């Protein structure tokens, strides 16, 4: 049994990532089976509760007010609408409901009060509940936790070195501070990044190192493949080679053996075979439902067919929730 480490060097990560592909997948699957039941995949449903008009300049994001994209801005949804969506998600087999807001940061006031009510309502439905609302302080994080929040998503996105090429309106340090505020509040962390932003392999290693050297590891690690959205600065970014994407997932699995590794954005561009490889490489969570926040995701039925073909099972909601 491999126990989690928090002192990975870039050279060690490079050696894992660059080993012969079959050896890498075998190692990742071996580690995976030491900690998880093979073939059990956790499904999360995403809902954008506040869409577009974001002040930040994240180069990949269709919700930034700085880029002309097809995203239509929408104010914060009302409580009832959100609870109905959560109910539908539960009925369709999701064990976790994640609400995302196109905010730079959480601001105290009526909107945040409403989000706290949403968290409370979803939690009472017996689902795991997750939020991604931008930067947050410890007091706000504690309020969400008391309302029933299971986890908070805040990504590092890429390496500290490449970060400034992608986002200029907040720093890597800001992200690390939010992560430490969440830990201080005792909230579980969902923290990962994006590949295919034009980063080098070295940047990918550094992102993985920044994630894996956190102690404890983030409980879930979303690995997003860039969705190149027209109108964003990265709209013409060349797609990352799928096998490199799979290598990233497999390396994440080996580095963070007890974390849920989530095959996140970009699934619509993956074939069934590529997704099967990602599961083989240790991914054990997906976003389910036909929409991520603003971009498409595979339809419910398509996922059902894939699960049947591969003999995968949905992870049930844990009894503590």
State the minimum distance, in angstroms, from the CB of residue 117 to ligand SF4.
Answer: 22
Q: Does 69 bind ligand SAM (CB under 6 A)?
A: no
Question: Which residue, 44 or 123, has its beta carbon nearer to ligand DTB?
Answer: 44
Q: Does 224 bind ligand SAM (CB under 6 A)?
A: yes
The stretches of the chain forming alpha helices (DSSP H) are: 10-18, 21-35, 79-91, 110-124, 138-146, 160-166, 172-184, 201-212, 242-255, 272-280, 300-310
Query: What dihedral angle (degrees, nearest 10) is formed by the CA atoms of 291, 289, 265, 132?
Result: 80
Q: Does 119 bind ligand SAM (CB under 6 A)?
A: no
* Alpha-carbon distances, residue 294 vs 6, 117, 140, 278, 321 (angstroms): 35, 23, 26, 23, 28
Residues 15-54, interacting with ligand SF4 (CB under 6 A): 54
Q: Does 64 bind ligand DTB (CB under 6 A)?
A: no
42, 44, 45, 64: which one binds ligand SF4 (CB under 6 A):
64
Residues of the chain by 3-state class (helix, strand, coil), percent to 5: 40, 15, 40
104, 114, 142, 291: which one binds ligand SF4 (CB under 6 A):
104
Q: Does 102 bind ligand SF4 (CB under 6 A)?
A: yes
Q: How many residues belong to the site for ligand SF4 (CB under 6 A)?
A: 9
Q: Does 159 bind ligand SAM (CB under 6 A)?
A: no
Q: Which residues bind ligand SF4 (CB under 6 A)?
A: 54, 56, 58, 61, 63-64, 102, 104, 134
């Amino acid at each position: 049994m491999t126990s989690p480490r928090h002192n990975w060097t870039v050279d060690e990560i490079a050696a894992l990532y660059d080993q012969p592909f079959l050896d890498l997948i075998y190692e990742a699957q071996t580690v995976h089976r030491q900690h998880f039941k093979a073939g059990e995949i956790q499904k999360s449903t995403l809902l954008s509760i506040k869409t577009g008009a974001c002040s930040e300049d994240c180069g990949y994001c269709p919700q930034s007010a700085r880029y002309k994209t097809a995203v239509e801005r929408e104010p914060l949804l009302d409580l009832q609408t959100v609870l109905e969506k959560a109910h539908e998600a539960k009925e369709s087999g999701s064990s976790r409901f994640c609400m995302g807001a196109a905010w730079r940061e959480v601001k105290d006031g009526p909107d945040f009060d409403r989000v706290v009510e949403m968290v409370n309502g979803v939690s009472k439905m017996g689902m795991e509940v997750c939020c991604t609302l931008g930067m947050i302080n410890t007091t706000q994080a504690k309020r969400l936790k008391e309302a029933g929040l299971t986890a908070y998503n805040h990504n590092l996105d890429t390496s500290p070195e490449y970060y400034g090429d992608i986002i200029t309106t907040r720093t890597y340090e800001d992200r690390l501070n939010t992560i430490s505020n969440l830990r201080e509040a005792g909230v579980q962390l969902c923290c990962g990044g994006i590949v295919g932003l034009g980063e080098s392999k070295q940047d990918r290693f550094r992102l993985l190192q920044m994630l894996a050297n956190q102690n404890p590891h983030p409980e879930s690690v979303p690995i997003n493949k860039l969705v190149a959205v027209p109108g964003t600065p990265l709209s013409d970014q060349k797609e990352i080679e799928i096998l490199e994407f799979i290598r990233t997932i497999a390396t994440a699995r080996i580095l963070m053996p007890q974390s849920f590794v989530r095959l996140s954005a970009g699934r619509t561009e993956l074939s069934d075979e590529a997704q099967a490889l990602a599961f083989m490489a240790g991914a054990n969570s997906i976003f389910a439902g036909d929409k991520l926040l603003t971009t498409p995701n595979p339809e419910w039925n398509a996922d059902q067919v894939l699960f049947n073909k591969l003999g995968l099972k949905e992870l049930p909601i844990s009894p503590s929730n």
